[in-house]
Amino acid sequence: MKIEVKLKDKSYFVHIDELEKIELDTKVVVVTNPTVSAFHLDTLLSKIDALECHVVTVPDGEKYKNFETINQILDECFLHRLDRKSVLIALGGGVIGDMTGFTASIYQRGIEFIQIPTTLLSAVDASVGGKTGINNKYGKNLVGSFWQPSAVYCETAFLKTLPKREFSAGMAEMIKMAVTFDRSFFEWLENNSLHVEANLQYALRECIKIKADVVSQDEREQGVRAVLNYGHTFAHVIENETKYSKYLHGEAVAIGIVMANELAFELGLLSLEDKKRVNLLLKKYDLPVEYKINNIEKFYDAFFLDKKSFNHKIKFILAKGIGGYIMKDDIEKSLIFKVLGNFS
């Protein structure tokens, strides 16, 4: 099946289990890492029919999502003299997708790229919607661009080799979407196991439909798209504090969801029962729901580097019941401190 991401300039399809052949009358560079490459590169290469096909393997991990690796990918493009019609293919998780997309957006002022996610997290979230970028010492994804892929291929076969922990991390993004946009999907997630293949395909489709719909409405995140950052305002600070090494992104998001829900609960937006249901669903997939904040002032201060904070206002995305959301940028500092205090 396929889901269209409708955009003003350029629409494209997210294909679920439809990868037969990629035919391109151009040069191609596949970007991947050693972990993914060992499992899936041969399969992918057997499906690519291009003028030339090269592979660049970059180090695996969030900490390599930086300018140095971008330069490594760029060098490969220059080495093989890719032109403006050439295509990059991202084979990997969110890190590979973000860096490949960013490179595609700046190589010769922009070339096409295709996303082939190999993690659940990137399949349901990162691969769709054209957010690209890298991290730096100031925080996550602070440098990047909006650059849409020309196609996305999600293959459940590629997700089977995922370590359990990585799979769970992807679940955090699924739960994020269910809590803010779709109560019945949330209930479905409570009652079904994603370890059944047909269920996984169904859940992928539901999430990608939500994501595609949100991105179509608001490509550049000037409105509703920010809701997808539910949990992320906290998660980015957590990832930064723990130097991107202790938690996978999805794990940090899980903690971020718990924190955001604590705030929503204090504001009377989320009932105690709903808050508990979300925690329970996160735990069902062995996601972390606790975190120890050592320095509340410092944690609070780090919010202001978030891209959604304007002029000393932090924008929080909060659940309004399960299946609803609200954006607030006028929450009292004292209340935020109180909530952060619950984690210290």
Longest dimension (CA), the chain: 60
Nearer to its own copies, 86 or 118 (CB): 86
C-beta neighbour count of 29 within 10 angstroms: 26
Among the listed ranges 56-64, 80-88, 160-168, 246-254, the one in contact with its own copies (CB under 8 A) is 80-88
The residue whose two tokens read 């299946």 is 323
Minimum CB separation of residue 34 from its own copies in Å reads 25
Per-residue string for binding with its own copies, 297-326, x by CB under 8 A? -------xx-xxxxx---------------
Backbone angles phi, psi at 211, to 5 degrees: -60, -45
Q: Which of 13, 39, 146, 188 binds its own copies (CB under 8 A)?
A: 146
Q: In the numeric block, which tokens belong to residue 268?
A: 């009377």
Q: Which of 26, 35, 150, 279 binds its own copies (CB under 8 A)?
A: 26
Which residues does residue 116 pair with via DSSP β-bridges, in sequence order? Answer: 91
149: three-class secondary structure by DSSP: coil
Among the listed ranges 125-133, 148-156, 162-170, 322-330, the one in contact with its own copies (CB under 8 A) is 125-133
Q: Which of 109, 195, 243, 333 binds its own copies (CB under 8 A)?
A: 109
Q: In the numeric block, which tokens belong to residue 335?
A: 């209340």
Minimum CB separation of residue 4 from its own copies in Å reads 21
Minimum CB separation of residue 307 from its own copies in Å reads 5
Residue 193 CA, distance from chain mean position: 22
CA distances (Å), 145 to each of 100, 142, 257, 332, in order? 11, 10, 25, 32
Rounded Cα gap, residues 217 and 34, in angstroms = 36
Rounded Cα gap, residues 99 and 32, in angstroms = 10
Q: Which of 35, 72, 145, 199 binds its own copies (CB under 8 A)?
A: 145
C-beta neighbour count of 335 within 10 angstroms: 12
Per-residue string for binding with its own copies, 205-244, x by CB under 8 A? ---------------x------------------------
Q: Which of 71, 161, 193, 217 binds its own copies (CB under 8 A)?
A: 71
Burial of 14 by CB count in 10 Å (0-12 exposed, 13-18 middle, 19+ buried)?
A: buried
Q: Hey, which residues are catalytic here?
A: 109, 131, 173, 211, 221, 225, 229, 232, 236, 249
Which residues form the interface with its own copies (CB under 8 A)?
A: 8-9, 26-27, 51, 67, 71, 74, 78, 81, 83-85, 102, 105-110, 131-133, 136, 138, 141-146, 220, 304-305, 307-311
